[in-house]
């Protein structure tokens, strides 16, 4: 397994991110178009998910997320239509301290069909997106002043 420095942007001033491929014969993740904000992950091995089951598909990389960022793993928009797979947790969050030798990125998927679904080695089913984050410092209070909303779901109504 080799560690590679990869620019995460096509711009000269893009951030540099350390990435390690589990299988170096597969390509590094890449941004498919000049305007893409997410990079596509390539699956490391063929994986079959039984009907109605949840499975983990290996993404072939260990990424050291830069300080001040999180890496979000999101399904590609065509995944439900083309593969009958959804991500049951909506998105994955890769923290900055998840980059040890066994911390390969996996994509959790649920098969929503009534047949087994196979994801082939080298397929692109998910994408990664770096987002800037800050850590909160909590300031506990007794209240937040006058209530301006009616609670959960208060702004949604049918006309």
pLDDT digits (tens, 9 = 90+) for 4-28: 444 444 445 578 999 999 999 999 9
Domains of the chain with CATH codes: 3-132 (2.70.40.10)
Q: Given its phi and psi angles, is residue 68 left (phi above 0), alpha (psi -120 to 50 degrees) or beta?
A: left
32 vs 36: CA distance, rounded Å: 7
Model confidence, pTM:
0.82
What does the pLDDT average to over 17-45?
Answer: 96
pLDDT of amino acid 11:
46
pLDDT of amino acid 79:
96
Q: Which of 66, 67, 70 is nearest to 16 (CA)?
A: 66
């Amino acid at each position: 397994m080799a560690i590679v420095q990869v620019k995460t942007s096509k711009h000269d001033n893009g951030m540099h991110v350390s990435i390690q491929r589990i299988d170096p014969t597969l390509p590094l993740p890449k941004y498919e178009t000049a305007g893409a904000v997410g990079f596509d992950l390539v699956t490391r091995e063929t994986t079959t998910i039984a009907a109605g089951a949840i499975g983990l598909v290996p993404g072939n990389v260990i990424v050291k997320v830069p300080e001040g960022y999180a890496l979000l793993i999101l399904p590609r928009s065509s995944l439900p239509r083309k593969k009958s797979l959804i991500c049951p947790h909506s998105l994955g969050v890769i923290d900055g301290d998840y980059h040890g030798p066994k911390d390969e990125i996996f994509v959790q998927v649920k098969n929503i069909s009534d047949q087994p679904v196979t994801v082939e080695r080298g397929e692109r089913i998910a994408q990664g997106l770096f987002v800037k984050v800050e850590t909160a410092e909590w300031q506990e209070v007794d209240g937040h002043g006058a209530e301006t909303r009616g609670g959960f779901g208060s702004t949604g109504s049918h006309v």
